[in-house]
Structure 1
Amino acid sequence: MKIGALALVAFAVCMLGSGQQNETAPDTAPMPPAASPVQKEPGAPSAPNQTAPPTAPAYKSGGLGLSRADWERTHGALEQEVAGFFHYEDESYAVMYLDGNVRHVERTWGDAGAVTPTKARSAAKSLIPRDAKLVRSYRSQTGRPVELYTSASLKERFRAAETPEGEPESPWIGGKPGDFIVIYRVYRFRSGDRVTSIVASIGNNP
């Protein structure tokens, strides 16, 4: 009986020691300190905004109504100015501005580079607003072919001025707001009719 009691006591001691060894030690590792907010020094500039500001869409025209910046972005820097005409690309283009926008543009090929009427009309279309609509065709007093167009968007590109007397003066000479003309200088060559230059100008005053 004494041996059996001693055996039970020894068994209980062994079980108690085993349970203590299997217990998981509590996690007593210290927590890392919280990150402190970055303090901005007095007078330090703010970080620049990385988002580029939106740019206004360019006016939808290859010539008339374009801003000077848009025109020169395509045709290069001004070469010379003579009597209010701004010349570009070896004097292939002569431009007049009003309110900072193209109001008159002449494309010149000269006799040596004269083009067919078909090519001249194609060149003219590249110099006018995209929303242009042909109103009619006629001949000027000197017999040159003239095309009269109107453009709803073009009328917003120019504002009325004032005479020295304070009277309103429309930039659309001979026409209504939004009107413009294309003039063809056509000459008869041995090879047939050829165009030496075209003019696109606001108003209706050939």
Structure 2
Amino acid sequence: MLKKSIFSFLILLLTSTQLLAQKSFLERLKPDETNFQYAGSIGFLSAGAGYHFFKEKTALSFHIGYVPESLGGELTIFAVKFQYKPFTIKLNDKFIIHPFNPVIFPSYTLGQNFDFKFEKPKYREGYYFWSSALRLHLGAGSEIKMFNNPTSKIKAISLYAEANTNDLYAISWFQNRTSTPFYEIFKLGYGVKVYF
């Protein structure tokens, strides 16, 4: 299937540092990190690549996620995350913890039942004020980072957990807050990051 082929190609591209190192222009496009995530609002499984700014205090990353047909319908999800790491706890020379990392990201879902706008012939204008495909997420995560040998191409590896909610969940909770617990609007994801 075309979607699976595109997903496989992007995974290969994101993880192949040899491919990016062939030309100087491509060298500049080489990401500072790649990550693989389970759940967390951007698919059953997702992969991404990111760039660091301001001495690794902030990161901008691009993700593609996939939900298989067997888990409720085949979906492909794209997301662009902006993450801020305000605090660092150094355990020793090998380990540091980023205990609270705020994150904000839009996601766009491809699929037969998802559109940027609801079709006007079917619904009067303003009947649905949200997009079925586009979501804006707000959340936070924690990360533990282990540094590697300085001479290695991989500088560090980390494990992280991230909880987030989106605009539609937050509005739904606000309108039904007497019957819906606040924690139910959050989705949790787990992942691993590889730093170059």
TM-score (norm 1): 0.23
TM-score (norm 2): 0.24
Find the structure with the greater CA-based Rg.
1
